[in-house]
Amino acid sequence: MKMTTPTPLDLTRAAGAFAALGSEQRLSVLRTLVRAGPEGLSIGALGDRTGITGSTLTHHVKILSTAGLVTQARQGRSIICAAVAFDEIESLSRFLLTECCADSAAPAEDHGHG
């Protein structure tokens, strides 16, 4: 398999997503939404499950949304948040492992990533 160097745009997008996940509370919000599946959760239910409420929760959801990891949609009188970027989350993992062991003398299989 050919290893490719990420383009600057890939680096920028990955850096933004990883920065958005650089908070225990935001990581908790995203994990909760991933567990909820594509139908998502109302902002109230999300707050109940994470213990993060009010403007703090709104702030964290906005950062995750800006990074393309979460969407928000009004449904009646509720705001539904969902982790619709399952492909993006998976691609972030691949981003880290794409060049695994590329500079090592040992093949990637020896490092458990093969």
What domains appear along the chain, each with residue ranges and CATH number? 13-96 (1.10.10.10)
Measured between alpha carbons, how far apart are the two ends of the chain, in Å? 11
Per-residue confidence of the chain (114 residues) as pLDDT tens digits? 445 555 555 788 888 888 998 999 999 999 999 999 889 999 999 999 999 999 999 999 999 999 889 999 999 998 899 886 677 777 777 877 777 777 877 655 555 555
Instruction: Please write the tens of the pLDDT for every residue from 56-79.
Output: 999 999 999 998 899 999 999 988
Question: pTM, whole model, 2 decimals?
Answer: 0.74
User: What integer best gives the mean pLDDT of the chain?
Assistant: 83
